[in-house]
Structure 1
Amino acid sequence: MTPAPANTAPPCNNLALRKAARYLGATYDKALAAVGLRSTQFSILQVLNTHGETTITSLAESIAMDRTTLASNLKPLAREGLVTVEPAPTDRRARIAAITADGKTRLAEAAPLWRDVQARFETAFGVDEAAALRASLNAVLDTGFEPWAE
């Protein structure tokens, strides 16, 4: 292996990942803007629709996001009536998030836009390559780091 020239920075996994995430995220954001959602909001609605009501902690874990950032992302969804965030009946300190009927409607409106971007990406990048990319990115989550550990 040839070492990097002295005047260039070594390859950075974080930078490469963030650049790709911003690039692809902006593409999804642009498509979903037609229904007033950002890609992160779409993902939250999708998880809540699939898994039903869940604690903020569980939701944050399922989308690999710290609880504070998740709370910030839930606020506009709650203001628009797309989700509810209520104290848990068994533990008032815990909060439960759930998708509303309006949230399900908005998700249904957004789904074809999401599917279109998904299909365009897979056509440009390759179906097998996209599947391998998702598998690799999921494997990153099993590397043992604890970025949100207290």
Structure 2
Amino acid sequence: MTTAGGDPTDGCNNLALRKAARYLGATYDKALAPSGLRATQFSILQKLSAHGEMTIGGLADAIAMDRTTMASNLKPLARQGLVTVEQSASDRRARTVTLTPDGLSRMKAALPLWQDVQARFEERFGPGEAARLRACLVGVLDTGFDPWAE
């Protein structure tokens, strides 16, 4: 689809979303850098803190990520002792992820950094606009695509 400006990428939903995601992701990564965590790692630790032990698949679903990528993201966290990844006691095919005390401590130490960048974004973008953006992005996840289906 070509837009009035003539650049076919101007109307590309994927490109617009990825540009914004890279921009905002780099902003959060920079803000969280003093904690030694990247934004994705912080999100994983936050999810585990809120939900307790989760399977890799459940954690991947909660963050909208494929299982293979989630497993790759967990490796450095496990090496640092922030999470454990073990075979599930109830399903030998599944692996469960648990937040360690060190992981909880690191997440809590990073929380003020996250809260600060979150507040700065909301101030600059507008709290109402930020809430609408999050609602729209949740809507994107409900469009019915199944990108990680095997």
Deviations 1:37-72 (A, max 9, x none): 000000000000000001111110000000010011
Deviations 1:120-139 (A, max 9, x none): 00000000000000000001
Aligned pair in 2 of structure 1 residues 37, 6: CA closer, same or farther (>3 Å)?
closer
- Counterpart of 1:95 in structure 2 is 95
In the alignment, the residues of structure 1 paired with residue 73 and residue 5 of structure 2 have an alpha-carbon distance, to the nearest angstrom, of: 42
**Partner AA of 1:25 in structure 2:** G
Larger fraction in helix: 2
Deviations 1:91-119 (A, max 9, x none): 22210001000000000000000000000
- Counterpart of 2:104 in structure 1 is 104
Aligned pair in 2 of structure 1 residues 88, 133: CA closer, same or farther (>3 Å)?
same
Return the TM-score normalized by structure 1: 0.96
User: What is the CA-CA distance between 1:6 and the residue it aligns to?
Assistant: 7.6
Matched, 1:8 2:15: no
Percent of residue pairs bearing the same amino acid type? 68
In the alignment, the residues of structure 2 paired with residue 62 and residue 42 of structure 1 have an alpha-carbon distance, to the nearest angstrom, of: 14
In the alignment, the residues of structure 2 paired with residue 88 and residue 82 of structure 1 have an alpha-carbon distance, to the nearest angstrom, of: 18
Report how many aligned residue pairs link the two structures: 148
Structure 2: stretches of 5+ with no match in the other structure: none
**Partner AA of 2:74 in structure 1:** L
Q: CA RMSD in A?
A: 1.1
In the alignment, the residues of structure 1 paired with residue 144 and residue 77 of structure 2 have an alpha-carbon distance, to the nearest angstrom, of: 31
SS at match of 1:148: coil
Structure 1: stretches of 5+ with no match in the other structure: none
